Every structure is written in C-alpha cells, then in structure tokens.
Structure 1
C-alpha cells in the first residue's frame, strides 16, 4: 500500500472523477485506474464504486479515507521538513486561516515575512473556522490561525495571539448612533448580517441568541468579513465583529460600534495552532517567532 495509491483514494473522494484525479496528479487516466484496482486487490475488498457518472468510495473506502489523509499528509510534511531544513532562503509554508484572521491580520504579516525572506513561498488558505481546524488536524496546513472558544483537539498546541472584544457594528447614520449602550432586545429589533456557516462568528452569534433568549433578525448571510463591513456601512444592517478588525473603518468614520450586550459582551481569543509532535522545520519556526514578535509590537492590536 504505497502513498500514491492512498493519494489517489484521497483525490477520488475530493473530485469524484478519475479524469480530474489524473489531471491533479499529472498522470494518464488508465494509470490512475490501474492503481485503484491494484489497491483493491491488495486489500481484498472493493473501495470504489461508480454511480451516475461519478466514482464514490464504498463503506470500506470511507473507512480507509481518514487514514489515507493522515498518511499522505504526514508524508508531505516529512518531505517538506527535509527540503527546507537547512535553508531559510527557500521553501514553501502552508498556512490556514479562518475568514477573520485571514482577512484582518494575516495578509499584513505574510507580506512582511515575504519581504524579509524573498526566496520563500507562502500558500495562505482562507476557509471557515471549522474547515481550517480540520485541514490542520489532517496535516494539510503547517500552521493554523483562527478565533476559538473551544478546547484544542488532542495533539494540537495553541499559542494565544490576542484577546479581542466582540462589538456590534453599525453605520454612522444608524439609530444606534445616538445610544451609549445596547440591550439584547434592541439587537433583536434590527436587520442582522449573519456570518457564514462553519465560521466562529456564526457559532458565537447563534450561541449568544440562545443564551439571551432572542431571535436575531437574520436578513442576510455573508461569507466574507470585508463584505459584512461594507454592507453595514450602507446603513440598514448591524452585525457582530471583532474590534481589532474595524480599526481603519473607525479612523475613516465609516463605521461605529457599541459593546455587545449580555452574554456576548466579553473578549474572544485568536490562536496560532500547530501539532505538538511536528518535526522541526526552520521555516515554520521562523514564521511562528515572527508572528509573536509582531504581537509584541502590538501590530495586531485594535
């Protein structure tokens, strides 16, 4: 059971077509099919089945899938650790970030790091919080950055980057502009922009509504924090947002805010996560230290 066969199984689950897998691996379609059949013969059980023009995993294939993800991920990580071990002048760093960290803080940090180390390449993947945590757990990214209130998964080390305040944001002309504080009931009476499924903000606001005994007037769902801010700026909507993420809008006068009421009126935490048992990588360690230095300089503070 070699890594190529396991990689094919992982891609079959992702693409559901042999042609797409062949393109991803830069192989001929018959070669991919050969390795699929070889893996089934090796294990003595059907792993793939064809349904309506798609190739799907059987129950046995689904049972093998999480192990294939971990094994291929660890192999890629081991290869990378060897390749960039001795030279910070080159190498690739895979970073995963939730939509808040990926749009508010990481672009500036990545840009500064690349300027300092022009020979390296950084791949920044921005996805909902839960997706980023899953990618990291499966060794598909080297480091993960996200907001969270949950306990870290087993084997995952989290370094606290900042404590942020969640606030209610609104346009200067909104009725909230004349107030000094908000109640849960007031929040429930205005059009609310909900964040995307799987995001930290969506989970947080849903929990807030349940704990407060209110129903948020969710008239819009947006999967981009920047789009949330721009829509709120137009005047009709409100939303929850980390205070550190609206610094430029506050300076420009395009947004205002008040502390979130009730159970939501508290700080939230943003983390940098990595596997506790990861092999040493100079590039990854250098980036971790770089991020911590930026925090010390308060570059990520509101």
Structure 2
C-alpha cells in the first residue's frame, strides 16, 4: 500500500512510519523539510516538498496529521492564524491536489482532537455527542473536520481521529510536565476536577493502523482510553510513578493571567469515551492510567 502522510515528522507520524515500514508499505511524507524525512522517519521513507512531485503515481491512503502544537504558547492573533493555517489551509491544499488527480486514494484519515466537543464538564461524550461549547479549540477542530469531509464528494472515504492527550516518552504534553513534577512542583491544575481523556502512544498507533485496514470505517472516532481520569488523579498518579509529591496546585487565576484564552484548554476537559472504536472491535492495550505511565516510566 502507498501511504501519503502529512505531519509525518511529528510524534505520531514518526511512529506510524516505523510501524508501517515493518509491514512493507510504501511511505511518502509531505514536509517543509523533505531532506530530513529519511533521518526522522526511516531511510526508506520518501520526503517531498510539493504534492505535484507525486505526479500521477498511485496513492492508496492519506494520513493527514499536520498541525502546529496547540498548547505551546498563548493564543495571540498571530498564533491563532498559524494554528488555523497549519490545519485548515493545509487540508484545503490537500483537497485541491486530490481534485486535480485522475487516480484518487480510497481513504483519508484526518486528524482532529477531543477538543472538538469544547469543555464538556461532567457529560460523557461519545461520537454522537454534539459540541458542548465553542471555544477557539473547538472551532478549530470543527473547521478541520468539515474541510477534510469535503473529500467525500470526490469519492474518498474519510475517517476523523479525535485524539485525546497522548502519553509518550518521546514528546507531547507529558514531556512538558516532567520538569515541574521531577522538581516536586507538580500538582493539579485549577480545582483538578476537569476530565482528561488520555491515550498511550502504542494504542494511538494501533488504532490508526486498525482503521486504515478496516474497509467500513468512516466518520469520527474518539481516540482515547476507555477510562478518562480527572486532572487531580492524573497529577497524583504521575507523581507516584516519578516518586515525587504532586501537591503544588496551579491556581486558575494564575493561568488566566499568564495564558489568557489558552487557559481554557487546561481548565476545561472532556469525559470522552471511544464508543465507536470499541463497537468496531478495537482492543486497547492500556486502559489503566497507572499501567500506561509505568510502561513509559523508564524512558521519562
């Protein structure tokens, strides 16, 4: 199978490339730095700077994961424009390329996030749940999904991955928590009651592979473990795994002053469950947070 990836040099993209190379797939990564692709993703992975470099070479599936990190810095107007462009504008370019091709891939798996729902409070959220609130993160995900779904009009089946908080030793949100927790400065955020829909990176890679090979997969899938936890429990468990106390809270007002609108992402949450994945027969390797963090602990 020839798979085209965007965001292929990111945390998930690199692991997907390693996984699919072992299966014998042909991989192409669309990247701003194509020369770095073989080094980051594997020597057998081809990097391209422009989609037209593929000409009419057949492509079987597209994995669209590109997007600037959403929580790295405050949401200034300039940052919001970058977040929008790196997701929606890039996906629009992908659609324009698809429309120009005679041979079209059968499948587009496109990134999204559980932030699609907004701050869900205490509601349990499955894929049939509507957005609860429309903050910037929610609007961004809604627009990203709607853009990707336009590929259906071209006869391309579209799968949407609403990813939770990915637990990985190589990067992601967990890496940003390590220093304060190792310095015994970790603890709950705000009141600590907000829900955190987490997923181990191994399950994230496995479910994307599962959906790639499932011919009836389409529409949105919540990519998070079946048992979300509250922020206070997450902090306590991470502190325990690192053998550090987790009792230093981060007051909500400090986040609001320091981060502005971005603080909504940290003070809110989603009690999201992977109803459609489980109904399709996907089995999670990690359903317990402690077990997931223990698996990563030697590399943290």
Greater relative contact order structure (CA < 8 Å, 6+ sep) = 1
Higher strand share: 1
TM-score above 0.5: no
Larger radius of gyration: 1
Q: TM-score normalised to the size of structure 1?
A: 0.25
Q: TM-score normalised to the size of structure 2?
A: 0.25
